[in-house]
Amino acid sequence: MNIATRAAHIGLERETRTGAVTVPIYQTATFRHPGLGQSTGYDYSRSGNPTRQALEEGIAALEGGCRGFAYASGMAAITSLMFLFRQGDHLIVTEDLYGGSYRLFEKIFQQFGLSFTYVDTSDLALVQQAIRPNTRALFVESLTNPLLKVADIEGLAALCKGNGLLCIVDNTFLTPYLLRPFDLGADITVYSGSKYLAGHNDTVCGLVAVKEPELAERVYFHQNGVGAVLGPQDSWLTIRGMKTLTIRMDRQQENALAIANWLTSHPEVSRVYYPGLAEHPGHDLMKERGKGFGAMIAFEVSEPHLVNRLLMKTRLISFAESLGGVESLITFPQVQTHADIEPETLERLGINHLLLRLSVGIEDKDDLIADLAQAFEEGEQA
């Protein structure tokens, strides 16, 4: 079945009593037992809730995994995966990763005896060199935030397999529609579902899909034990959002390519990062492995004062954190999403005082380009 069909059908055949085509919102904490030692399959909503389960089965189906899990946020999903590890374990991590993941690893898990090495995961040799005897996993962003470096998931997964490491892919920027990490050998995928999957900037949630049952059982143990689960109403909103994933993504990509091309020719833009541009170093790899290039663009302006001008003067494009929704958003990674990473590291990576990140929505591309064009011009703030 095609992914668009799977997405549109999430939760569809669950309600047999009434035939409702959308899954009911089971706003219940607990479930009555039919008898001693018997269960309807649901006991307590932290352990399992029918609405959340419809979403969890949905992400598993889109991803082609055996089981899915829904969490209170993307960070709660990543934290819950870190609970798979123990004191003394080492992980290799994408160097220009989301600042919230970096903060979690450095400020909380390092204290608990996990260690992390940050490498450019678009370079297989660098990843290989970072492997130590106590390395347990690779945590890689398939398309990095914010510099849009492309990881060779197939090569990385093979490297992981050869060295007994878990291959965990944060596939937030691409979604299973554009890249299917399990087909390329990954073990676990993780999403800030707040982004493209829910897609409407109205839900904070995290999703995980696991390929094999044994590992899924371990992930479930901590989901239930720690209880960082997603509530039923947010689960329902995420399902609703996922039904339009493919059509939203199609439009967002089309808009992104047009904007990236326009930015490339703008005299006050010194650099554009978008993997859909032929000159992007990851372009060919993405073309071969995935179904598209996503809708995130990073670009450097030529002068520092232009950063403020763009953030303040765009009218259709809101200056706000987050990404992936139907509304276009612009952010300044150095002080917003990546503020928790050391300044020297940011500078070395290229997350500098000139870099802006654009999440392209589904507005008309001509309107978005016109909005950017007027924002570049001198004059009164809109």
Partner 1 sequence: MKFATELIHGGNPIDPEHGSLSHPIYLSSTFAQRSMDHFGRYDYARSGNPTREALEEAVAKLEGGSTGLAFASGMAAITSTFLIFAPGDHLVVCEDVYGGTFRVLSTLFKGWGLQVSFVDATDQGAIAAAIRPETKALYLETPSNPLIKIIDLAAAAALAKEKGLLTIVDNTFMTPYLQRPLELGCDIVLHSGTKFLNGHSDVICGFAVTGNPELGQRLRFIQNAFGAVLGPQDCWLVLRGLKTLKVRMEESQASAKTIVSWLKEQKGVAKVYYPGLPEHPGYETHLSQASGPGAVLSFELASYDITKRLLEGVKLAAFAVSLGGVESILSYPAKMSHAAMPAAEREARGIKETLVRLSVGLEDAEDLIADMDQILNR
**What is the contact surface with partner 1 in residues (CB under 8 A)?**
27-33, 35-37, 43-46, 49, 71-76, 79, 83, 86-87, 100, 103-104, 107-108, 111-113, 194, 198, 201-206, 221-222, 225-231, 233-234, 237, 307-308, 311-312, 318-322, 325, 329, 332, 335-336
Active-site entry in 98, 177, 191, 273: 98
143, containing H or E segment: none
Please give the Cα distance from 16 to 4 (Å, whole number): 23
Instruction: Between 226 and 369, name the residue whose CB sits nearer to partner 1.
Output: 226
Active-site entry in 96, 152, 170, 234: 170
Residue with tokens 């596939």: 171
Phi, psi of 259, deg, nearest 5: -70, -40
Instruction: Between 268 and 284, name the residue whose CB sits nearer to partner 1.
Output: 268
E strands present in 83-202:
90-94, 115-119, 135-141, 166-170, 188-192
305 and 180 Cβ atoms separated by less than 8 Å:
no
- C-alpha dihedral sign at 50, 5, 155, 294: negative
Instruction: Between 231 and 290, name the residue whose CB sits nearer to partner 1.
Output: 231
Q: Is 271 a catalytic residue?
A: no
CB of 22 to partner 1, least distance (A): 16
CB of 162 to partner 1, least distance (A): 26
Instruction: Between 2 and 111, name the residue whose CB sits nearer to partner 1.
Output: 111
CB of 103 to partner 1, least distance (A): 5
Tokens of residue 1, six digits: 């079945």
Q: Is 170 a catalytic residue?
A: yes
Q: Is 348 a catalytic residue?
A: no
Instruction: Between 27 and 129, name the residue whose CB sits nearer to partner 1.
Output: 27
322 and 315 Cβ atoms separated by less than 8 Å:
no
Four-CA torsion 145, 148, 154, 157, nearest 10 degrees: -20
Instruction: Between 122 and 223, name the residue whose CB sits nearer to partner 1.
Output: 223
CB of 299 to partner 1, least distance (A): 16
167 and 81 Cβ atoms separated by less than 8 Å:
no
CB of 314 to partner 1, least distance (A): 10
Per DSSP, the three-state class of 300 is strand
Active-site entry in 52, 67, 180, 195: 195
Instruction: Between 129 and 134, name the residue whose CB sits nearer to partner 1.
Output: 134
Residue with tokens 């011009």: 377
What burial letters (b/e) apply to 304-333, b meaning 16+ CB within 10 Å?
eebbebbbebbeebbebebbbbbbbbbbbb
Distances (CA, A) of 206 to 55, 68, 77, 147, 182: 11, 11, 5, 22, 18
Q: Is 211 a catalytic residue?
A: no
Tokens of residue 202, six digits: 């109205």
Work out the number of other CB atoms within 10 angstroms of the CB of residue 234: 24
CB of 80 to partner 1, least distance (A): 8
DSSP readout, 303-348? Answer: STHHHHHHHHH-SSSEE-S---SSS-EEE-TTTTTTTTS-HHHHHH
Active-site entry in 14, 42, 46, 136: 46
Which of the residues are catalytic?
46, 98, 170, 195
